[in-house]
Amino acid sequence: MRRIALDAMGGDDAPLPEVEGAAAAVRERALEVILVGDEETLHKRLAAEPPIAGPGKLTIRHASQVVTMDDAPSAAFKGKKDSSMRVAFNLAASGEAEAVVSAGNSGAVMAHGLFVMKRIDGVDRPGIVTIGPTRPGGHCVVLDVGANTELKPEMLAQFAVLGATYARVLLGTRRPRVGVLSNGEEEGKGTELTREAHRLLASAAASGERLDFDFAGYAEGRDFFPGRFDVVVTDGFTGNIALKTYEGTARFIFDLLEEEVRRSLRFQLGAWLLMPAFRALKRRLEADEYGGALLLGVQGVAMICHGRATGKAIKNAIFAADRLAVAGLPPALTDAVARHRHIWEGPDGELAAGPSSNDNSLGTRAFSEGGTGAAGGS
């Protein structure tokens, strides 16, 4: 039976939603969920749940400490070696569990991913990835939505490879179209970061080297939805603001609509008739259905839930983690990064490479080493 390690003490209301979500998961599927946290608390909490007669099972692994929202990520990692988060990550890193799920302090989750699971070779920084719906019924993968606020262009190029691989493995997107989030498509638009990342990806696409994805240029804030892009890469500051603006707008529109509906009986009747359509719409918009966010770029599967995740969100995250582990996401990522690192490293993979006839790749190299952006044809 496959095993998922769940940090049962991470969320704002832990361990209630964690235990509920885990119980719901094992009632539905033949999984073992390892609840990691204070044994006594978890036993008590479990005793309050209806008996579990599902195909799966729940077990408990004791951990004496808890990472709080106020803990600095590195302090949490160094100072709380027996935290529920640390023990859960240890289980996943050692292979005792297929994946780990946490609704805890997301900076600390990031630190545990980095230091316990380790980065994939060739990846400078893992990113947090999320998935949104698109109009034709597809999906748009977006990263980074919060892990790294200040990036270099080569990291955005790495996100392109990671995101495209994620879309292939999770969603079956044959040849993902990848965009770089910017404020416009014209020459002068964007920041140094986005312009350099665009140049790296465009020159790799033009170089004739085989890529697993199509580089589709700049994406704007409205381009998450119409299905023109399967993957959009950005820094964690911008991505976080875009994600929260999306969530905030959706909630705002439903709230306003409710306000309008209250104005007359006619509207209330209309809303009653439309209720199933509204529910379907909300389901299509909700991130919960996709099981939360994933820390992408580490050697393993680490799902990050919102601190206020409900039992349902936790259950979905457990299922998503399991699906990704079964689908072989970690080896697929390692393989894809190895095959694409020429994008940010140049064709020979080493700074020491001598003069080359491939002007584009040389130009590329210059700024992948942190250059000033003046890089051109050698």
Least CB distance to a copy of itself at residue 288 (A): 16
- 81 vs 189, beta carbon nearer a copy of itself: 189
**Smallest separation, CB 60 to a copy of itself (Å):** 31
Q: What angle is formed at CA 131 by the lines to CA 129 and CA 137, rounded to 5 degrees?
A: 160
- Kindly state the tokens that stand for 317: 């995250």
Q: How far is the CB of 325 from a copy of itself (least distance, A)?
A: 29
Q: Which residues bind a copy of itself (CB under 8 A)?
A: 69, 72-73, 107, 135, 146, 149-150, 181-184, 186, 188-192, 220-226, 236-238, 240-253, 255-257, 260-261, 263, 266-267, 269-274, 276-278, 280-281, 284-285
Minimum CB separation of residue 330 from a copy of itself in Å reads 27
* CA–CA dist 100, 105 (Å, integer): 14
Looking at the Cβ atoms of 94 and 183, the one nearer to a copy of itself is 183
With respect to a copy of itself, which residue has the nearer C-beta, 54 or 227? 227
CB of 374 to a copy of itself, least distance (A): 16
Least Å distance, CB 91 to a copy of itself, is 27
**Least CB distance from residue 259 to a copy of itself, whole Å?**
8
The nearest distance, CB 362 to a copy of itself, in angstroms, is 27
Q: Which is nearer to a copy of itself, 44 or 244 (CB)?
A: 244
Q: Which is nearer to a copy of itself, 43 or 308 (CB)?
A: 308
Question: 133: which 2 tokens?
Answer: 């719906």
SS (H, E, C) the chain: CEEEEEECCCCCCCCHHHHHHHHHHHHHCCEEEEEEECHHHHHHHHHCCCCCCCCCEEEEEECCECCCCCCCHHHHHHHCCCEHHHHHHHHHHHCCCCEEEECCCHHHHHHHHHHHHCECCCCCCCEEEEEEECCCCCEEEEECCCCCCCCCHHHHHHHHHHHHHHHHHHHCCCCCEEEEECCCCCCCCCCHHHHHHHHHHHHHHHCCCCCCCEEEEEECHHHHCCCCCCEEECCHHHHHHHHHHHHHHHHHHHHHHHHHHCCCHHHHHHHHHHHHHHHHHHHHHCHHHHCCEEEECECCCEEECCCCCCHHHHHHHHHHHHHHHHCCHHHHHHHHHHHHCHHHHCCCCCCCCCCCCCHHHHHHHHHHCCCCCCCCCC
In the complex with a copy of itself, which residue's Cβ is closer, 1 or 280?
Answer: 280
Q: Which amino acid is at 282?
A: K
How far apart CA 309 and CA 12 sit, in angstroms, is: 8
Find the shortest distance in angstroms from Cβ 345 to a copy of itself: 27
CA distance 375 to 372: 7
Considering the complex, state which of residue 184 and residue 349 has its C-beta at the smaller distance from a copy of itself. Answer: 184
Pick between residue 175 and residue 189 the one whose CB is nearest to a copy of itself.
189
**Between residues 54 and 221, which has the closer beta carbon with respect to a copy of itself?**
221
